[in-house]
Amino acid sequence: KPKVIVMGRSNVGKSTFVKSMTADKTIRVGKKPGVTLKIAEYDMGNYYLVDLPGFGYMEGIDQKGQEEIKDNIIRYVEDNQRTIATAIQILDAKSFVEIVQRWEETRELPIDLEMADFLEELDLKPIYVINKMDKIKNSQWDEELDVISEKLGFLPPWRQWIDILAPAILKEGLGLEEIGERIKNNVKQYYDDLR
Ligand code: GDP
């Protein structure tokens, strides 16, 4: 059974996403306890949903701890590469743009982009969930999504990348259906490729 991994900087809404996806219909099949790497797997029927730890800045975790979490995530993804049908990376619409702008000034690659590059490199069929769109004025959605699309390396207009970019307001459940649809397609593709 393939895996669908869920990752993102801490506080982007990853737990909110995993909770809505797994609400009461699934059993958690494995939670490996560890100091820095807690991985929860949920049986979703024809795939496992894998909740990877949040990365980047977190209160109470120093630079070394952050590096360790990142290394663990990378190792997990590399070790499981062949069974990963798709990788979901969740971004915070508003802070992502700020983070990338800061990067353009300081030249220090933000972890979100580093992870995105890594997923593309391994050809893990990433889906980018652009969460917290409620923080963006409705009239500015297209403009903001074009900027995010470009920062991720996808030439605007963002709608060209509708299979890859999924705007969402996860706390209201908005976008979940579309994300579910994309997961379904990528899982199907995974099974087709096996044949
Ligand atoms: P995690 O650290 O990535 O697991 O993030 P959580 O799911 O715990 O969410 C972090 C915070 O973001 C919480 O306060 C959520 O209520 C909030 N949040 C989640 N989704 C949304 C959203 O769509 N819009 C807004 N404005 N806040 C959200």
- pLDDT 10s digits, 150-168: 999 999 999 999 999 999 9
Confirm or reject: Cβ of 15 under 6 Å from ligand 1: yes
**pLDDT value, residue 1:** 94
What are the 10-residue block averages of pLDDT along the chain, 195 residues in total?
A: 96 93 64 58 94 88 90 94 97 91 81 93 96 97 95 96 97 97 97 92
For ligand 1, atom 17, the nearest C-alpha belongs to 13
Token representation of residue 107: 């030249």
ipTM: 0.99
Q: Output the CA 132–ligand 1 centroid distance in Å.
A: 8
**pLDDT value, residue 61:** 85
Cα–Cα distance, 165 to 107 (Å, whole number): 25
Q: Work out which ligand 1 atom sits closest to the CA atom of 17.
A: 7
Percent of the chain predicted with pLDDT > 70:
93
Q: Work out which ligand 1 atom sits closest to the CA atom of 90.
A: 3
